[in-house]
Copies of this chain bind each other. A is one copy, B any other.
Amino acid sequence: MTQSPVRDSELLDQRDLEEEEEEEEEEDYFDYFYDEPGSEPGTLSIEPDAKPSRIVLIDYDADHAVRKVDVTPNALIPYLGTNTISWMDVQGLGSEKILKQVGDIFKLHPLLLEDVVNVPQRPKVEDYNEQLMIIVQMVRSASDDEGFESEQVGFVLGAKYLLTFQEEEIEDCFDIVRDRIRGNQGKVRQSGPDYLAYLLLDSIIDGYFPVLENYGDRIEMLEDQIVLHPDNSNLEEIYSIRRELLSLRRSIWPLRNVTDILVRGRSPLISPDNQIYFRDCYDHVIQLLDIVETYRELSSSLMDVYLSSMSNKMNEVMQLLTVISTIFIPLTFIAGLYGMNFKYMPELEGRWSYFIALGGMAAIAGGLIFFFWRRGWFKPFYAVKKD
């Protein structure tokens, strides 16, 4: 899901109908998943462009750590009975058969499997007694540095395993966790799958900060532009910032609920010692919400600033028109007056009449210029010249 205003505005220039239709298919204002009305609950809706599924297994305890790539679902079975911690990472949600096999092996409830496979879902946590399902959205700044991309990550936390489902392989933050397991850094190898889930969740949540920071920068730049040189493109920029922040908030808001439930520790799958770590996640989510709301208020203030700047600009235009008109209209009238062809116009005859008329005009113009200067109407023109 990419929301890039730049591409939007390019589109407007091209205006090819065919392209617009293509566009509509691949990108929507707000993505959401809904079943075909009337479809059976638990139906897997594999999207045609979904990546094929592959499973990466990491099995570890305090003493060893093994990593296997492209494991078949059946090869996971031996790891279920052991006392070691197993992290099965399903990358790509395109292979219905593999997903169903995984569902059977782990005895996943049909609705659970539907939720992790049919993307995007609203972030949530649900307790299926033996298993705890957590669904969150991961975001990263889009490659063109405008807008952001989001991707769903599903966790299924069991007593001795953690099952994760991703739309495509997430490199950055998951790799760091992998390295930590391999390198036996920190306490991850000494802890259960709940601590592993915390590490992954925490890195997903921390991934929101740089995305938000990006919006902070864009708002700051916009403010400068709007105050100095407001133009139409600012309007589109504000609008798309607002739209994208709305969309971000839709991802973050339910995270508050998700982490709150985890902190409250209703599930026996999360050990009391590790609850304090989820409290840390909760704190970060609250901070994210704070920032999103702040940026939304700022972008809304920016719209006011934009309107005021436009009004300022219009005022300057009108002042210029008024200054010029008000000075010249009386002069032109006087010129017209002595351009009349009446036979008896005594002034016309005088030797110095012309110069007197010119002097009068100069006096009127001077008086008006002084009047406008006193009222500060020339200021905006000085100001801009300096710039």
Name A's B-contacting residues (CB within 8 A): 12, 24, 28-30, 32, 34-41, 109, 111, 121-122, 124, 126, 172-177, 180, 185-186, 198-199, 202-204, 206-207, 209-210, 213, 216-217, 219-220, 223-224, 227-229, 232, 235-236, 239, 242-243, 246-247, 250, 276-277, 279-280, 283-284, 286-287, 290-291, 294, 297-298, 301-315, 317-322, 324-326, 328-333, 335-345, 347-354, 357, 375-376, 384
Is A109 within 8 A of B276, CB to CB? yes
Among B38, B202, B242, B342, point to the contact of A338 (Cβ < 8 A).
Answer: B342
Is A206 within 8 A of B38, CB to CB? yes
- Distance from A336 Cβ to chain B, minimum over Cβ atoms (Å): 3
CB neighbours (8 Å) of A322 from chain B are 317-318, 320-321, 324
Among B185, B332, B353, point to the contact of A342 (Cβ < 8 A).
Answer: B353
Is A308 within 8 A of B307, CB to CB? yes
Is B326 within 8 A of A336, CB to CB? no
Nearest-CB residue, chain B, relative to A297? B246
Is B344 within 8 A of A301, CB to CB? no
Is B335 within 8 A of A343, CB to CB? no
Is B40 within 8 A of A186, CB to CB? yes
- Distance from A334 Cβ to chain B, minimum over Cβ atoms (Å): 8
Q: 25 interchain pairs (CB within 8 A)?
A: A12-B227, A24-B217, A28-B213, A37-B172, A38-B176, A38-B203, A235-B305, A242-B297, A246-B294, A310-B312, A317-B322, A318-B318, A320-B322, A320-B326, A321-B321, A321-B326, A328-B329, A328-B333, A332-B332, A332-B333, A339-B340, A340-B354, A340-B357, A341-B341, A344-B351
Among B246, B306, B312, point to the contact of A232 (Cβ < 8 A).
Answer: B312
Q: How far is the CA of A36 from the CA of B205 in the complex (A)?
A: 11
Is B32 within 8 A of A209, CB to CB? yes
Q: In the complex, which of the residues A30, A38, A286, A324 has the most CB atoms of chain B within 10 Å of its own CB atom?
A: A38
- Distance from A322 Cβ to chain B, minimum over Cβ atoms (Å): 4
Q: How far is the CA of A30 from the CA of B177 in the complex (A)?
A: 29
Is B308 within 8 A of A311, CB to CB? no
Among B290, B336, B353, B384, point to the contact of A122 (Cβ < 8 A).
Answer: B290
New A-B pairs, 7, CB < 8 Å, besides A223-B239, A310-B311, A335-B336: A12-B228, A38-B206, A39-B206, A321-B326, A331-B333, A333-B335, A340-B341
Is B328 within 8 A of A342, CB to CB? no
CB neighbours (8 Å) of A330 from chain B are 324, 328
CB neighbours (8 Å) of A209 from chain B are 32, 34, 37
CB neighbours (8 Å) of A34 from chain B are 206, 209, 284, 287
CB neighbours (8 Å) of A207 from chain B are 37
Nearest-CB residue, chain B, relative to A337? B335
CB neighbours (8 Å) of A41 from chain B are 186, 198-199, 202, 277, 280
Among B38, B202, B239, B332, point to the contact of A329 (Cβ < 8 A).
Answer: B332
CB neighbours (8 Å) of A246 from chain B are 294, 297-298
- Distance from A275 Cβ to chain B, minimum over Cβ atoms (Å): 11
